[in-house]
Structure 1
């Protein structure tokens, strides 16, 4: 199988070498890397050139800095890299971050998983962060969900689901849509991916405005958005947090901000959320 790996990068001069070194050290060699330099003002481009000048598998695309919009910025950069290649020449499409270290057998293990399981549409490992000198499981998501920094899609699945959406919540929307199309998302727990930017910091607690916008752009109906908001408020230990999330969600609805999913896809997302809610909380 041939891998196309797209890496959006903005001001990643300190982290990017670790990511690209880990790719060069892969036991599996049949891949192309396109690093999308999204308007970096540091030495990111110089870092990229060190690889593109000496390894034909590495390429770059230079962009003017795109506007910062949570979720959409990174997907926009990814798409700019994707359109430089003919994806029909590849079997696996990867979206990786510019601040991860992959184990040497990452691509080989992903390839074997796809070859041996034709129903797999999305695969990846588990994310680890440095804390007190040790690498520990990041714990920001359940262990059945492939996190945004290290996604690998079977090409047929990627095309069928319409690629990635330029919106907040894209890395949850993808898993719901592909499952709705009959594909499976699989986490390979033996693959430990190191996230090197976050040195033990807790970035799981986000502002209320983030959650309100996230639930809106995920396409959640009001009932499910309120349930999700209550869950986040409970995690934060603040009842006021709930009302702030709801205010942000309702503001988006009032403004009728554009969703990047169709009505049918929105229904699929809500059906999935409702099914999970009944199974986990209502024991139905």
Structure 2
């Protein structure tokens, strides 16, 4: 199964070489990599040229800088890269970040998982970050969810869900939609991917405004959004954090901001969230 790997990059001259080197060193060699230079103002184009000049598997797409909208920016760049390729030439479509380091057998094990399990639609490894000079599990999500920087889709599942959505929350929306279509999302826990941008940082802490917008664009109804806000507030041990999140969520509702998911997809997401709530909290 040939891989198509799309890597959006904006001002990543320091990190991108680590990502591209780790892909060049893969034990599995049948892939094409498209690096989408999203309006970089540093030497990212020069870094990309070093690889495209000496390895025909590497290509580049140059864009004017996308509008800085969390979630949508990176998906917009990804889609622009995707548009340049004939998907008939590939069996696996990947959206990778430009600041990760893959183990040498990453693609090999991803391909093996897809070949041996025809119901696998989305596969990836686990993210690790540097903390106190050690690489530790990132912990920003459960270990059964494939994170945004390391997404690998079976082409058929990717096409069936009509690609990924250009919105905040896209990297959860895809998994929910695929599951509803009968595809499995699978994390290969022994595949440790190093996330190099956030050295020593607590990657789990995000501002209240982010969470409010995230819950809105994910399509959560008011009840589920408030429950999710309460969960984040408990993590932060802050009552005010809860009210700031719901304030951001309600502001989005008031403005009636456009959702990038259909009404049916919104129902699917809310049903999945409600079922998860019943299992974990209500023990139903």
TM-score range, shorter chain: over 0.9
Q: Is the 8 A contact 2:169 2:217 kept in 1?
A: yes
Output aligned runs, 1:213-232, within 5 Å.
213-232=213-232
Distance 1:156 1:253 in 2: 35
Aligned 1:126-165 pairs, distance under 5 A:
126-165=126-165
CA distance in 2 between partners of 1:134 and 1:241 (Å):
30
**Cα distance, 1:88 vs structure 2:** 1.6
1:195 equivalent in structure 2: 195
Separation in structure 1 between the aligned mates of residue 140 and residue 66 of structure 2, nearest angstrom: 27
Residue 203 (structure 1) shift: 2.5
Once the 2 structures are TM-superposed, how far is the Cα of residue 180 of structure 1 from its aligned partner?
0.5
For structure 2, the residue ranges without an aligned partner over 5 or more in a row are none
- What is the match of residue 124 of structure 1? 124
State TM-score, norm by structure 2.
0.99
Partner of 2:61: 61
What is the alpha-carbon distance in structure 1 between the residues aligned to residue 260 and residue 182 of structure 2?
Answer: 21
CA distance in 2, matches of 1:100, 1:48: 15
Tell me by how many angstroms 1:147 deviates: 0.5
User: Hey, what does 2:279 align to over in structure 1?
Assistant: 279
Aligned-partner SS, 1:199: coil
| SS at structure 2 position matched to 1:214 | helix
Aligned residues: 284
Q: Secondary structure at the match of 2:201?
A: coil
Q: Secondary structure at the match of 1:78?
A: helix
Task: Provide the C-alpha distance between the structure 1 equivalents of 2:56 and 2:206, rounded to a whole number of angstroms.
Answer: 40
1:100 is matched with: 100
Q: Equivalents in 2 of 1:219, 1:229: separation in Å?
A: 14
Range 140-149 or range 202-211, more displaced: 202-211
1:42 aligns with 2:56: no
Q: 1:281 aligns to what SS in structure 2?
A: helix
1:16 has 2:13 as partner: no
Whole-angstrom CA distance in 1 between matches of 2:206 and 2:102: 27
Q: Name the structure 2 match of 1:32.
A: 32
Q: What's the offset of the Cα at 1:146?
A: 0.4
Deviation >4 Å, runs of 4+ = none
Over residues 98-155 of structure 1, what are the superposed CA-to-partner deviations in whole Å (9 max), with x where a residue is unaligned?
A: 0000000000000000000000000000000011111111111000000000000000
Deviations 1:47-77 (A, max 9, x none): 0000000000000000111110000000000
CA distance in 1, matches of 2:260, 2:43: 34
Task: Give the TM-score taking structure 1 as reference length.
Answer: 0.99
Does 1:265 find its partner at 2:242? Answer: no
**Aligned residue number for residue 254 of structure 1:** 254
CA RMSD in angstroms, aligned pairs only: 0.5
Q: CA deviation at 1:205?
A: 1.2
Q: Unaligned stretches of 5+ in structure 1?
A: none
